[in-house]
Protein backbone atom coordinates (compact mmCIF):
# COMPACT_ATOMS: atom_id res chain seq x y z
CA UNK A 1 0.00 0.00 0.00
CA UNK A 2 1.15 3.56 -0.64
CA UNK A 3 2.81 4.97 2.46
CA UNK A 4 1.69 8.50 1.66
CA UNK A 5 -1.71 7.51 0.28
CA UNK A 6 -2.85 5.62 3.35
CA UNK A 7 -2.27 8.54 5.75
CA UNK A 8 -5.43 10.30 6.91
CA UNK A 9 -5.79 13.97 5.97
CA UNK A 10 -6.99 16.12 8.86
CA UNK A 11 -9.07 19.07 7.65
CA UNK A 12 -8.85 22.32 9.68
CA UNK A 13 -12.13 23.76 10.97
CA UNK A 14 -12.00 26.84 8.72
CA UNK A 15 -11.76 24.71 5.53
CA UNK A 16 -14.83 23.39 3.69
CA UNK A 17 -14.47 20.39 1.40
CA UNK A 18 -17.03 19.20 -1.11
CA UNK A 19 -16.88 16.45 -3.75
CA UNK A 20 -19.14 16.54 -6.82
CA UNK A 21 -18.79 14.48 -10.02
CA UNK A 22 -15.11 13.48 -9.48
CA UNK A 23 -14.17 17.08 -8.62
CA UNK A 24 -13.00 18.20 -5.19
CA UNK A 25 -13.70 21.78 -4.08
CA UNK A 26 -11.65 23.20 -1.21
CA UNK A 27 -12.60 26.57 0.30
CA UNK A 28 -10.72 28.37 3.04
CA UNK A 29 -9.89 31.83 4.36
CA UNK A 30 -7.51 32.64 1.45
CA UNK A 31 -9.73 31.44 -1.40
CA UNK A 32 -11.17 28.50 -3.33
CA UNK A 33 -9.47 25.71 -5.28
CA UNK A 34 -10.83 22.80 -7.28
CA UNK A 35 -9.30 19.76 -8.93
CA UNK A 36 -10.66 16.90 -11.02
CA UNK A 37 -10.00 13.53 -9.39
CA UNK A 38 -9.40 10.34 -11.32
CA UNK A 39 -12.31 7.87 -11.29
CA UNK A 40 -9.74 5.31 -10.05
CA UNK A 41 -9.62 7.15 -6.67
CA UNK A 42 -12.35 7.37 -4.00
CA UNK A 43 -12.54 9.86 -1.14
CA UNK A 44 -14.17 9.13 2.24
CA UNK A 45 -14.92 12.34 4.14
CA UNK A 46 -15.94 11.85 7.79
CA UNK A 47 -15.66 14.04 10.90
CA UNK A 48 -13.12 16.49 9.48
CA UNK A 49 -10.93 13.75 8.05
CA UNK A 50 -10.35 12.54 4.49
CA UNK A 51 -9.24 9.04 3.59
CA UNK A 52 -8.03 8.50 0.03
CA UNK A 53 -8.75 5.01 -1.34
CA UNK A 54 -7.99 3.36 -4.66
CA UNK A 55 -10.33 1.17 -6.69
CA UNK A 56 -7.88 -1.63 -7.52
CA UNK A 57 -4.26 -2.62 -6.93
CA UNK A 58 -2.86 -1.97 -10.40
CA UNK A 59 0.42 -0.12 -10.80
CA UNK A 60 -1.39 3.00 -12.08
CA UNK A 61 -3.84 3.00 -9.16
CA UNK A 62 -1.00 2.72 -6.67
CA UNK A 63 0.79 5.70 -8.19
CA UNK A 64 -2.40 7.80 -8.26
CA UNK A 65 -3.16 6.95 -4.62
CA UNK A 66 -0.23 8.88 -3.14
CA UNK A 67 -0.41 11.59 -5.80
CA UNK A 68 -4.00 12.61 -5.08
CA UNK A 69 -3.47 12.53 -1.32
CA UNK A 70 -0.52 14.91 -1.72
CA UNK A 71 -2.48 17.18 -4.09
CA UNK A 72 -5.38 17.44 -1.62
CA UNK A 73 -3.00 18.27 1.26
CA UNK A 74 -1.40 20.98 -0.92
CA UNK A 75 -4.84 22.43 -1.69
CA UNK A 76 -5.75 22.56 2.00
CA UNK A 77 -2.44 24.22 2.90
CA UNK A 78 -2.89 26.69 0.04
CA UNK A 79 -6.31 27.93 1.12
CA UNK A 80 -5.21 28.25 4.78
CA UNK A 81 -1.59 29.50 4.63
CA UNK A 82 -0.77 30.06 0.96
CA UNK A 83 2.56 29.52 -0.81
CA UNK A 84 5.48 31.90 -1.24
CA UNK A 85 8.55 31.72 -3.51
CA UNK A 86 11.30 34.32 -3.37
CA UNK A 87 13.69 35.11 -6.20
CA UNK A 88 16.80 37.26 -6.07
CA UNK A 89 18.38 39.08 -8.99
CA UNK A 90 22.18 39.31 -9.06
CA UNK A 91 24.03 41.52 -11.51
CA UNK A 92 25.11 45.13 -11.93
CA UNK A 93 22.13 47.22 -13.03
CA UNK A 94 19.72 44.26 -12.85
CA UNK A 95 16.41 45.20 -11.25
CA UNK A 96 12.70 44.41 -11.17
CA UNK A 97 9.55 46.38 -10.36
CA UNK A 98 5.85 45.55 -10.27
CA UNK A 99 3.81 48.10 -12.23
CA UNK A 100 0.09 47.36 -12.21
CA UNK A 101 -0.50 43.90 -13.70
CA UNK A 102 3.04 43.56 -15.08
CA UNK A 103 6.47 42.68 -13.73
CA UNK A 104 9.11 44.82 -15.46
CA UNK A 105 12.72 43.63 -15.33
CA UNK A 106 15.98 45.13 -16.57
CA UNK A 107 18.40 42.24 -17.01
CA UNK A 108 21.13 43.61 -19.24
CA UNK A 109 19.31 42.80 -22.47
CA UNK A 110 18.78 45.48 -25.13
CA UNK A 111 15.14 45.69 -24.06
CA UNK A 112 13.23 45.47 -20.76
CA UNK A 113 11.50 42.17 -20.01
CA UNK A 114 7.78 42.48 -19.18
CA UNK A 115 5.75 39.62 -17.72
CA UNK A 116 2.00 39.72 -17.21
CA UNK A 117 1.12 38.56 -13.71
CA UNK A 118 -1.35 35.63 -13.95
CA UNK A 119 -4.67 35.65 -12.12
CA UNK A 120 -4.32 34.12 -8.65
CA UNK A 121 -0.72 35.33 -8.19
CA UNK A 122 0.46 38.33 -6.18
CA UNK A 123 3.95 39.69 -6.83
CA UNK A 124 5.91 42.11 -4.71
CA UNK A 125 9.31 43.74 -5.14
CA UNK A 126 10.36 45.02 -1.68
CA UNK A 127 13.85 45.69 -3.08
CA UNK A 128 14.75 46.15 -6.76
CA UNK A 129 16.73 42.89 -6.62
CA UNK A 130 14.08 40.77 -4.89
CA UNK A 131 10.83 39.29 -6.25
CA UNK A 132 8.25 37.67 -3.96
CA UNK A 133 5.60 35.48 -5.59
CA UNK A 134 2.53 34.53 -3.51
CA UNK A 135 -0.57 32.47 -4.23
CA UNK A 136 -2.85 29.69 -3.00
CA UNK A 137 -2.11 27.22 -5.82
CA UNK A 138 1.28 25.54 -5.21
CA UNK A 139 1.54 24.39 -8.81
CA UNK A 140 0.91 27.88 -10.25
CA UNK A 141 3.32 29.62 -7.82
CA UNK A 142 6.06 27.14 -8.74
CA UNK A 143 5.38 27.43 -12.46
CA UNK A 144 5.46 31.25 -12.47
CA UNK A 145 8.65 31.41 -10.37
CA UNK A 146 10.38 28.88 -12.63
CA UNK A 147 9.35 30.79 -15.77
CA UNK A 148 10.78 34.02 -14.34
CA UNK A 149 14.02 32.24 -13.36
CA UNK A 150 14.34 30.74 -16.86
CA UNK A 151 14.55 34.22 -18.45
CA UNK A 152 18.10 34.63 -17.09
CA UNK A 153 19.24 31.58 -15.10
CA UNK A 154 22.36 32.08 -12.97
CA UNK A 155 25.49 31.65 -15.04
CA UNK A 156 28.43 29.71 -13.54
CA UNK A 157 31.28 32.19 -14.12
CA UNK A 158 30.14 35.41 -12.42
CA UNK A 159 26.91 34.17 -10.82
CA UNK A 160 24.76 36.79 -12.58
CA UNK A 161 21.10 36.04 -13.16
CA UNK A 162 17.86 35.20 -11.39
CA UNK A 163 17.92 32.53 -8.69
CA UNK A 164 15.73 31.25 -5.89
CA UNK A 165 16.50 32.77 -2.49
CA UNK A 166 19.22 30.65 -0.90
CA UNK A 167 20.00 28.71 -4.09
CA UNK A 168 23.68 27.78 -4.36
CA UNK A 169 25.32 28.27 -7.73
CA UNK A 170 28.67 26.52 -8.08
CA UNK A 171 31.05 28.89 -9.80
CA UNK A 172 33.54 27.71 -12.38
CA UNK A 173 37.06 29.02 -12.73
CA UNK A 174 37.51 31.05 -15.90
CA UNK A 175 40.36 30.67 -18.36
CA UNK A 176 43.71 31.29 -16.68
CA UNK A 177 46.11 33.83 -18.17
CA UNK A 178 49.11 32.27 -19.93
CA UNK A 179 52.27 32.51 -17.81
CA UNK A 180 54.91 33.36 -20.39
CA UNK A 181 55.45 29.91 -21.91
CA UNK A 182 54.62 29.36 -25.52
CA UNK A 183 56.75 29.27 -28.67
Give the pLDDT score at 36: 96
d(CA 110, CA 98): 20
Judge if 115 and 70 occupy the same domain: no
As a whole number, the mean pLDDT across the chain is 92
At 141, which CATH number?
3.90.930.12
pLDDT computed for residue 114 by the predictor: 96
What's the N-to-C CA distance of the chain in angstroms? Answer: 70
Taking only the tens place, the pLDDT of each residue in 99-112 is 999 999 999 999 99
pLDDT value, residue 178: 62
Same domain for 126 and 57: no
In total, how many domains does the chain have? 2
The pLDDT tens digits for 114-159 are 999 999 999 999 999 999 999 999 999 999 999 999 999 999 999 8
Same domain as 87, residue 159: yes
Same domain, 76 and 88: no
Which residues, other chains included, contact 106 with Cβ-Cβ below 8 Å and sequence gap of 6+? 93, 94, 95, 96, 112, 113
Amino acid sequence: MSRIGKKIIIVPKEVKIEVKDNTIFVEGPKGKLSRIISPRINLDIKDGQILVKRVADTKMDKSLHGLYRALIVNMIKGVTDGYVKELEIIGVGFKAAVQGEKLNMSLGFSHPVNITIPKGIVMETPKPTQIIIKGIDKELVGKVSTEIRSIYPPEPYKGKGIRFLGEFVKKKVGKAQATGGGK
